[in-house]
Amino acid sequence: MLASLSGVDELRKQYRCLVWHISKGCNILVDSESEYLTMESSDGSSLSTSPTMVDGCIEDQEEELDWAANSVVHTVNEVKPSKLPTPCELFNKNICLSPTSCPHPHICSSCRRPDHNAMQCNQEPSQGARSARNRRGLLWEDDESYSPCAQASLQADPLPSPPPVNELPRRLVNIVQKHPELFKIVTPIKVDVFEGLLASHPNKPLVKSVCRGFREGFWPFAQIPYDLTVDQSWRQRPREHGLRLEFLKSQIAKEVETGRFSVSFGKKLYSGMACMPMHVGGSKKFRLINNHSSGDYSLNSLIPENVRSVRADDICALVRVLRARCLTKKNVLLFKSDVAQAFRIIPMSPYWQALQVVRVNDKYYVDRCNTFGNAASQRLFCEFFSLVLWIAENLWGVSDILSYVDDNFSWELTSRKKYYARYGRYLPEKQVRLLELWDILGIPHESKKQVSGTILNIIGYKVDLRRMRISIPEEKMDPLITQLSGFCNPGTSQTKSLQECQKLAGSVNWAFNVNPLLRPGLDSLHQELARAKELDCNKKCIISERIKSDLAWLTNLLQRSKGLPFTKSDSWEPDDASCTIYCDASLNGFGLWSPTTNEAFYYRFAPDTYALPLSTFHAFAVVCAIFWARSRKSHSERLLIYTADRTTAEVFNSLSAPDESHDLLLLAAEVLFDGDIDLHVADVAEGENKIAYRLSRDSTSAVSQDHPNLTTAEFRIPRYIADRAPKLCVGAAVVEIPKIIKNVHFGSPKKPRKLNSKQTRAVEDNPDERESKERVSVVSKREAKQLLVKPTLINDAEDLRFLDFTALHKAGYRGAVFDKDNCLTVPHEDALVPELKEAWEKCRLTFGDENILVVSNSAGSRLDSGGIQAESVSHHLGVPVLRHNSMKPAYSCIQDIRAYFASLKCPISDNELFVVGDRIFTDVVLANRMRTSWHRMQESLNPGEARHTAARDADGPLSIFVDRVWKKEAGAMRFLEKGLTRTVERWTGMQSAFTLEQRSPFVRQNRD
């Protein structure tokens, strides 16, 4: 027994069928507050029910029931919360349509009480629930795998019939009766077959209403229509022209041919009819758009707001299904099937058809079918399609079919394929079964809309089963980046229209669904939108420097976005944290204490900072704690931070901060984003935070006495924090940011701006400017000379067998870039050189396959049509091959390399890489360019700070030159490279960044 019930006699009377399940080896779990029960069988499957669902169950087997009831020995209080059933999500969002028949408990998800939902709950939610607010629902539990759309038909109310004829406007009734040729029921659905398959469906009223709608026409939940003749077609766009006009003509002809439009009845609207605007929308793919919300007497004004919502399976439903089935990414694929002309298969009532007349080229047509612009169009289609999904799941044996309006998607094993004769090709078996059902029911579909694969775009998201991530597709991300760049570029206008800003905010908000940590980047624009709406200042928004800076920050991070991993985005409790930190702050300083590592830190503020709000100090302490946790490990998955200030906890959990803490929130969000860290921030009472409290108030000696085993030290502010929060770091001991915290992405170095004569004289008159100009000039010349001369170069390794990969890994190198030809393979071949097999396996074992990247000017380059050679090389070598459009050592190729290593689960920076190649002009120069671009960025960030030469030489990747030639090729170029190398060595006195003693840890004197 997992749990038990109190009151065995009452149990025997009221829940006889549940006790019978006990006797069959099931466990019963009870929520004492909601009286909701879950039966869990011995095989792990579960069935949830409530007292209202047990009527009419088994009434016999008295002895067996008595035995089972007497076997209950535990108490309700021993039930673990994690085993309780999941409350109804729709109820907690205030959108559950049928509370009496809903199979899920209508209880609050925060306090589990039945008298209110989560939106009405006054109780403080748990830390796991509160921290999930910024995740937009993209958190999932393994026990949540149901489909709201498939189950919607079980609890939905029947669809309404048209109002009685005697209640409708007389003129409307007369039109339908006088012109019956204009009003017909047109649908491809085979209603008799559909109704026959639903004979066993438990919700008979819904089935009856839907079948009646297909025979007599649907009524879109509208009130009694206006007794008016309404013509809003004058609001349409001016006459279409060009391609739009051709599309309009062909589409109208198609609609008339299929019967969805009537033939034109002239150039005058009949009395009692209504005509709404219609135009051609879309830029690349045109479509007809009906505007049923136009004017004071619009059709949508007749439809109540509370009936417009629909149930649909979102991307979370798919993830829950995948996780519940414990699928591996190697033998599973996704598929998606789209219904063609989805809304148009729903016929409307003749009395409603008379109200959705359209005008095209001064001619009027009656639209007989459901339209996209109607407020109830989705509701009508989804109610019908929920019945189709019920047939697919219960009668057709097709499980886990999810639906988002007309898009249907699910998974299938890659080994299960079936031939679909209509399209003449093999498709996933589930997909074929679904299409066969559609064919029987008459649901239209097209071949091009039936797709499958391990990477698939589903309802606007890119779902990648290979990387187990959800992201925004490139075809949608690229226009978004362009749109953002148009706002944040320095040369752009200082004002934008309200419509432009709203459009940008809407597009970015969609990207936030899989990048929730980027939400602070839009706060300043939202504030400006609110100001512009309130003042109605000619519908103009002022794009301030702060907005431009925030949008530039947002653009930078969106370009580096890796998406949301759905293998680990679980909701979690404080006990599941991988690192826990307690923070407290005062006007004097802040204190940090981590019980995970038994370390504590303190920091003292300068007197000049006392004017800032105390909440800013608390936010600064949390940011420093995040940086410390990120530097402690290369990948801290779950970070729990306790703070003494509730406002600060709310800031980091909601990702919305006041102006004083806005920059700190951006800083924290960027570190969490780069580190792939899941952060929970909770407030804690002072009594539970004594160590951090005392450290923040100059009581370090007392802490050391009371906790002698606790390691206490002064917190040294990373430079990256000092640059972003200078007021809080006055007089602080600043340290360079640790390597593993930040991954800086660089573009191609810009050419120095030429100065005119006036600017030259101004520089000469200003000593500081002159010194800066001279320094930049010297750096540029020095880096130009060192392009070949002083990379961190090891040039005495004959091939891979002479390299000590263990020593490289111990020295801090975590990733490798390899050339292909004459380094790993014979030129123009894809297989590894047999002599290097043992060394290559050692390399892969040491660094991991994903941390090794092959970059070749043949495989994966623009010369590799379709990436065929790259796939072959990756198959033979067992590591990824970079796809790039430019040849080594181009800066754009460097960008692609950096982008790959930044996208890893544990990102790798430039100075944690080593580059192995056999060519000076490509591989060695590539490594040195990566180093020099690092220096340029550092000089631009800190122009007044001279860096030590040794430190400069140590940055960037390590270049390893192997001179073993497995097959001769490009002889002339190799001759030039050797000659240039000898010349450079004589010129520099054979200076190198590594002496022989420094090389010896990495290069063996003899090969393995």
Cα-trace Rg, the chain: 34
pLDDT at 837 over 70: yes
Please give the Cα distance from 904 to 924 (Å, whole number).
Answer: 24
Please give the Cα distance from 122 to 124 (Å, whole number).
Answer: 6
Q: Are residues 173 and 305 in the same domain?
A: yes
Least Cα distance to 74 among 29, 14, 123, 138 occurs for: 29
Q: Are residues 370 and 507 in the same domain?
A: no
pLDDT at 242: 73
Please count the structural domains in the chain. Answer: 6
What does the pLDDT average to over 958-968?
74
The answer to the question of residue 173 being in a domain is yes
Q: Identify the weakest region by mean pLDDT among 335-349, 771-785, 849-863.
A: 771-785
In the structure encoding, which two tokens stand for residue 714, read together? Answer: 């002064």
pLDDT at 276 over 80: yes
Q: Are residues 291 and 427 in the same domain?
A: no
pLDDT at 456: 92
- DSSP character string of 188-231: ---HHHHHHHTTT-S-HHHHHHHHHHHHH-B--S--SPPSS-EE
Least Cα distance to 532 among 585, 495, 579, 491 occurs for: 495
- Per the CB < 8 A criterion, the answer to whether 582 and 592 are in contact is yes
- Per the CB < 8 A criterion, the answer to whether 119 and 92 are in contact is yes
- Please give the biggest Cα pair distance in the chain: 106
Q: What does the pLDDT look like over 679-721, one tens digit per residue?
A: 889 988 867 888 989 898 878 888 888 888 888 888 888 777 7
Q: Identify the weakest region by mean pLDDT among 232-246, 627-641, 678-692, 756-770.
A: 756-770
What does the pLDDT average to over 113-133?
53
Q: Residue 959: pLDDT band by 50, 70, 90 thresholds?
A: confident
pLDDT at 135: 58
pLDDT at 784: 37
pLDDT at 239: 65
CA 5 to chain centre: 43
Q: What does the pLDDT look like over 15-47, one tens digit per residue?
A: 333 333 333 334 433 333 333 333 333 333 333
CA 575 to chain centre: 26
| Last residue of one domain, picked from the residues 426, 448, 471 | 471
Q: Which residues of 727-754 are buried (b: 16+ CB within 10 A; e: fewer)?
A: ebbeebeeeebbbbbbbeebeebeeeee
What does the pLDDT average to over 721-733?
65
Query: How does the average pLDDT of the chain come out, rounded?
Result: 75
pLDDT at 263 over 60: yes
More confident residue, 757 or 81: 757
Please identify which residue in the block is written with the tokens 């809003």: 232
pLDDT at 115 over 60: yes
Q: Angle at Cα 456 formed by Cα 450 and Cα 461, nearest 5°?
A: 115
- Per the CB < 8 A criterion, the answer to whether 963 and 802 are in contact is no
Please give the Cα distance from 372 to 344 (Å, whole number).
Answer: 9
Q: Are residues 338 and 349 in the same domain?
A: no
Please give the Cα distance from 27 to 18 (Å, whole number).
Answer: 9
Q: Which amino acid is at 888?
A: K
Q: Are residues 551 and 634 in the same domain?
A: no
Sign of CA dihedral 479, 483, 489, 491: positive
Q: Residue 196: pLDDT band by 50, 70, 90 thresholds?
A: very high
Q: Are residues 723 and 838 in the same domain?
A: no
Q: Are residues 543 and 583 in the same domain?
A: no
Least Cα distance to 653 among 683, 630, 676 occurs for: 683
The answer to the question of residue 35 being in a domain is yes
pLDDT at 47: 37
Q: Residue 495: pLDDT band by 50, 70, 90 thresholds?
A: confident
pLDDT at 440: 94
- Per the CB < 8 A criterion, the answer to whether 636 and 590 are in contact is no
The answer to the question of residue 921 being in a domain is yes
Please give the Cα distance from 264 to 365 (Å, whole number).
Answer: 5
Q: Residue 10: pLDDT band by 50, 70, 90 thresholds?
A: very low
pLDDT at 259: 92
* Strand-pair category, 793-797 with 958-962: parallel
pLDDT at 556: 87
In the structure encoding, which two tokens stand for residue 658, read together? Answer: 């006041």
pLDDT at 656 over 50: yes
Q: Residue 622: pLDDT band by 50, 70, 90 thresholds?
A: very high
Q: Residue 330: pLDDT band by 50, 70, 90 thresholds?
A: low
In the structure encoding, which two tokens stand for residue 452, read together? Answer: 């499958």
The answer to the question of residue 399 being in a domain is no
Q: Residue 317: pLDDT band by 50, 70, 90 thresholds?
A: confident
Listed in sequence order, the residues at least 6 apart from 849 whose beta carbon sits closer than 8 Å to its beta carbon are 878, 879, 880
Least Cα distance to 470 among 460, 478, 485 occurs for: 460
- DSSP character string of 229-291: -EE-GGGSPSPP-HHHHHHHHHHHHHHHHHTSBPPP--SSPPTT-EE--EEEE-SSS-EEEE-
In the structure encoding, which two tokens stand for residue 44, read together? Answer: 């792990």
More confident residue, 615 or 211: 211
Q: Identify the weakest region by mean pLDDT among 326-335, 351-360, 586-595, 877-886.
A: 326-335
* Strand-pair category, 913-917 with 958-962: parallel
Q: Are residues 867 and 720 in the same domain?
A: no
The answer to the question of residue 404 being in a domain is no
Q: Identify the weakest region by mean pLDDT among 334-338, 636-640, 668-672, 735-739.
A: 735-739
CA 840 to chain centre: 36
Q: Which amino acid is at 31?
A: D
Q: Are residues 102 and 174 in the same domain?
A: no
Listed in sequence order, the residues at least 6 apart from 870 whose beta carbon sits closer than 8 Å to its beta carbon are 859, 860, 864, 881, 883
* Strand-pair category, 274-275 with 230-231: parallel
Q: Are residues 633 and 693 in the same domain?
A: yes
Listed in sequence order, the residues at least 6 apart from 812 whose beta carbon sits closer than 8 Å to its beta carbon are 739, 912
What does the pLDDT average to over 571-598?
88
pLDDT at 61 over 70: no
At 617 the three-state DSSP class reads: helix
The answer to the question of residue 832 being in a domain is yes
What does the pLDDT average to over 315-334?
76
Instruction: Specify burial of residue 898 (Cβ count, 10 A radius: 0-12, 13-18, 19+).
Output: buried
Starting at the edge strand found earlier in the chain, the sheet holding 455-458 runs: 455-458, 461-464, 469-471, 564-565
pLDDT at 502 over 80: yes
- Per the CB < 8 A criterion, the answer to whether 881 and 856 are in contact is yes
Q: What does the pLDDT look like over 518-534, one tens digit per residue?
A: 889 998 898 888 888 77
Q: Residue 498: pLDDT band by 50, 70, 90 thresholds?
A: confident
pLDDT at 21: 37
Q: Residue 429: pLDDT band by 50, 70, 90 thresholds?
A: very high
Q: How far is CA 48 from CA 72, 229, 317, 388, 517, in A?
A: 19, 53, 19, 24, 35
Percent of the chain with pLDDT over 90: 21
pLDDT at 89: 63
pLDDT at 972: 65
Q: What does the pLDDT look like over 431-474, one tens digit per residue?
A: 999 999 999 999 999 999 999 998 999 988 899 888 888 888 88
Q: How far is CA 748 from CA 140, 408, 479, 921, in A?
A: 41, 44, 22, 18
The answer to the question of residue 385 being in a domain is no
- Per the CB < 8 A criterion, the answer to whether 620 and 636 are in contact is no
User: Whole domain around residue 266: which residue ranges?
Assistant: 165-189+215-311+345-374
- Which CATH number fits the domain that encloses residue 824? 3.40.50
Q: Are residues 257 and 293 in the same domain?
A: yes
Q: What does the pLDDT look like over 733-745, one tens digit per residue?
A: 444 433 323 332 2
At 461 the three-state DSSP class reads: strand
Q: Are residues 324 and 366 in the same domain?
A: no
Outline where DSSP puts E strands in 291-401: 332-338, 357-360, 363-366
The answer to the question of residue 871 being in a domain is yes
pLDDT at 182: 92
pLDDT at 766: 43
- Which CATH number fits the domain that encloses residue 579? 3.30.420.10
Please give the Cα distance from 832 to 647 (Å, whole number).
Answer: 59
Q: Residue 654: pLDDT band by 50, 70, 90 thresholds?
A: confident
Q: How far apart are the first and last CA of the chain?
A: 60
Please give the Cα distance from 132 to 569 (Å, whole number).
Answer: 10
pLDDT at 384: 93
pLDDT at 260: 92
Q: What does the pLDDT look like over 808-831, one tens digit per residue?
A: 887 778 899 999 988 898 888 888
